Amino acid sequence: MRELSDIDVVGVVGAGTMGNGIAQVAATAGYEVVMRDIEPEYVERGLGSIDDSLARLDGNERLDEDPAAIRDRIEGTTDLDALAAADVVIEAAVEDLDVKREVFADLDEVTDDDVALATNTSTLSITSIASATDRAGDVIGLHFMNPVPIMDGVEVVVGERTADAVVDFAHAFAEDLGKETWEADDKPGFVTNRVLMPWINEGVRAYDEGVADREDIDRGMRLGTNVPMGPLELADHIGLDVVLDASETLHAELGDRYKPAYLVKRKVAAGDLGKKTGRGFYEYDEE
């Protein structure tokens, strides 16, 4: 097991919203980063998102270093073998257990035996993902929040066989990226989504049942509970497809109290996924 002081290169699997965000914060913290995805256009899109994010942060005087210097530490690739150089790897692929197990089986082959393997899953079992490898003790959950460069928190999720040294490393590594951590056992939804998904779905039901209009539901929760976003705003921000997938996973594992709201299903079926498509519970300028 490598110590934090041994980490020079961070591998990231996935160049989507979460993957490119993780790559960005790792590079901002001074690490060399290899960000891998399966198609060149995904890699280029991820690198473009990083460029845009760094420019915004620099414009708001939130960077201590020139954006170009940070960006130069990030290598984009479609070559799985490029991850052999990594001292720690964080997977941020699609939220599908079969996909993640396949990724971890590959990582087990291409990385050194003393490299910690982390998954950014928000709901799936760390233990099930780890069982695709021959070193389950090295596998842990590092659940970053979206948007990664802005949000302060990282959820450290401990699998059935995760070694104590890997847990300690995960906390230290996340904190070195400028994040604060909390720890959860490997139970469905962990802390964040176990509490958050029912809250969002109940807000959607309240809207669908005419308890209040969408603005007053969100305003009421902001003013009444001091959250920064109401449930409908937050669902749009997360992505209604992501909310639905997480809710369905929790529903299957924990029963009807996690049943997704009908209106979430309907909007996903219509392709209205929130901010990323320009329309969800609210309308947005498409990104």
Cβ 181 vs Cβ 142: under 8 Å: no
Identify the burial level of 152 via C-beta atoms within 10 angstroms of its C-beta, where 0-12 means exposed, 13-18 middle and 19 or more buried.
exposed
In 3D space, the residue among 95, 123, 158, 100 whose CA is nearest the CA of residue 251 turns out to be 123
**Which residues have a catalytic role annotated?**
122, 143, 155, 193
CB 87 within 8 A of CB 59: no
SS3 35: strand
- The answer for residues whose C-beta is within 8 angstroms of residue 86's C-beta and 6 or more apart is 9, 10, 11, 34, 111, 115
Cis peptide upstream of residue 260 (ω within 30 degrees of 0): no
